[in-house]
Amino acid sequence: MSKINKVNSILSSFPYTLTCKERDNIIFLTGEVNTYEEKLAIGEKIAKLKAYEHVVNDIAVKGLTIPETRYNKNVDSKELDGLHCDVLVIGGGVIGCAILRELSRYNFHSILVEKENDVALHASSRNDGNIHPGIDLHSNTLKLKYLNMARDMWPSLAKELGFRYVKTGQVLTFEDHKLIFNLFVRFKAKTNHVNNINYYNQEQFKQIEPNIDNPKIQGGILFNDAAQVSPYEVTIAFAENAITNGAKIYLDTFVKEMKVENNQIKEVITNKGTIYPKLVINAAGTFSEDVAKMADDHFFSIHPRKGTDLILDKKVFTKYAKHTLGLKHLSDARAKTKGGGTIVTVDGNFLLGPDAYETPFKEDFSTEKKSIMEILNRQKGLFKNIGPKDIITYFSGTRACTYEEDFIIQQGKWTKNIIHAAGIQSPGLSCSPAIGREVAKLTATLLNDTRLQSNFNPRREAPIDFASLTLEEKDKLIKENPNYGEIICRCEKISKQEIINAIHRPLPVNSTDAIKRRTRAGMGRCQGGFCGPQVLKILAEEKKLDYSNVSKKGNKPVLDRKSK
């Protein structure tokens, strides 16, 4: 049976009029079905044939309306109108910012546009910060290729860019099929080039994780190289270093359309005017399909996969676990996610999750009680005593999955002056340094200009972490600047000066949540109950704004008007 006949036979097994079309080894699907689940199932079945490079699933779902993409409509600036640049990166997530930082090594005029009013607002902050060992990845995937490139980049990058990188180690545990797990890991470790693995039996496992109270656990496999970073800290570090080296980041900037002629993007029309880039980089996350469409280069589809994470009080970690942990069952092998686990974040919180389920809504970051309770209950296999009282917050994010479940990192298929860094899902964060480097290299090749900036500064000063200093060091800093002696966030112990420092770093800070991501003020157990108003006050004063013009996130202020 020919490829197209196989596709048609899948389509005809559904009770709808569905059609397909082939172009340059891409299969395009159209028609209408009743449910989103059916649309997904069709896309997945056809991708499983592995007959085509990509599936573009344009099948409509009856009655389903996708809300308009959110962006700041109140912007009336035309500051970017007429701007010519060498490279325009679309999307300020960890991928876009990693690329921008690597581009800033070169002699290019590079800019990045982000529709939100800070970087790292979608998947790059709605993320568990895990640097994966990569044991579960399929060979011959870009995921594995970039992970193997990135693994050794992290420690030196962390030093260079002043972000925290903690080698927590990750332990896979199991209640049954010990032999199968061990054999599987030994086999995959070889093919995937994963080193530094320890295999523990039941007794040895008890010694490395004495607080785990599950007699059924037969053993554990420790991946020593698994690590943790803070995903938004990394993104901000990339962004700030790029700016230091001359790149520009424009926030609240939304790409609306593109003018493409003769397979070249000529104009990129934004809410702040028309930009004329020589080359465009698509790092738009769940919106990378939309960008590809605008660029007349629509050769893949993204289906968002939502997940929720829970953050537990810092106190809980000290009571419970030493490593990142996951309790696995053989049945997980067929599931779409690794099933989640428990993670000790770089800040010392315990993080549980994530789960995974499909949604048609790219920007649906809402949470469900059912998810929260399921994630909590799933970890009861490891920690009996974990309960709702330990939760301090929870959040959801959406992963940008293609039907092929792999990254797309390449020049445009039909449009020549675009590079896609699309379909980035787990382990996207882990791979980001390598993706940044490779995309920048490809850019230099395509622009036929590999000259490097002579004065590139790879270093970014880490912000001062006042709480971690000794009392003597604290005293010394306070004598230099008394604002260090005023503690604003009680739970996370953040001083006024650290907040002021965050406001005046290279990337502008526009909301109290932006301060939270940079300093942790408001991220503790009271969730900003005490410090929220203080942070708002400091932000207003530093930016010379009225209190009623400060927002928590987005562009709607926290305060309405002066009281009577």
Among 61, 329, 467, 508, binds another protein (CB under 8 A): 467
Q: Is 41 one of the binding residues for another protein (CB under 8 A)? A: no
Among 4, 41, 526, 542, binds another protein (CB under 8 A): 526
112 burial type by CB count under 10 A (0-12 exposed, 13-18 middle, 19+ buried): buried
How far lies 322's CA from each of 222, 345, 385, in Å?
12, 11, 16
β-strand partners of 518: none
Q: Is 348 one of the binding residues for another protein (CB under 8 A)? A: no
Distance CA 520, CA 335 (A): 34
Among 177, 293, 493, 543, binds another protein (CB under 8 A): 493
Distance CA 47, CA 269 (A): 33
Q: Which of 36, 78, 143 is nearest to 424 (CA)?
A: 143
Among 6, 177, 525, 543, binds another protein (CB under 8 A): 525
Q: Is 541 one of the binding residues for another protein (CB under 8 A)? A: no
Distance CA 198, CA 173 (A): 12
Cα 139 from chain centroid?
A: 23
* Backbone phi, psi, residue 352, to 5°: -115, 135
Q: Is 257 one of the binding residues for another protein (CB under 8 A)? A: no
Tokens of 130: 């895990």
* Backbone phi, psi, residue 463, to 5°: -60, 150
Q: Is 199 one of the binding residues for another protein (CB under 8 A)? A: no
Q: Where are the alpha helices (DSSP H) in 447-495?
A: 471-480
Question: Of residues 282-321, which lie at the interface with another protein (CB under 8 A)?
Answer: 315
Q: Is 556 one of the binding residues for another protein (CB under 8 A)? A: yes
298 is catalytic: no
Q: Is 211 one of the binding residues for another protein (CB under 8 A)? A: no
Q: Active site residue: 122, 132, 298, 303, which one?
A: 132
Q: Pick the stretch among 38-46, 216-224, 365-373, 398-406 that binds another protein (CB under 8 A).
A: 365-373
Residues contacting residue 504 through CB under 8 Å, at least 6 positions apart: 542
Q: Is 361 one of the binding residues for another protein (CB under 8 A)? A: no
CB of 376 to another protein, least distance (A): 10
Q: Is 562 one of the binding residues for another protein (CB under 8 A)? A: yes
CB of 506 to another protein, least distance (A): 25
Return the number of the residue (304 or 433) whose C-beta is nearest another protein.
304
DSSP one-letter code for 118: S
Among 365, 414, 453, 505, binds another protein (CB under 8 A): 365
Which residues bind to another protein, rule: CB under 8 A? 70, 315, 363, 365-369, 372, 388-389, 391-395, 467, 471-472, 474-475, 478-479, 482-487, 490, 493, 525-530, 532-533, 537, 547-548, 551-564
Report the catalytic residues.
132
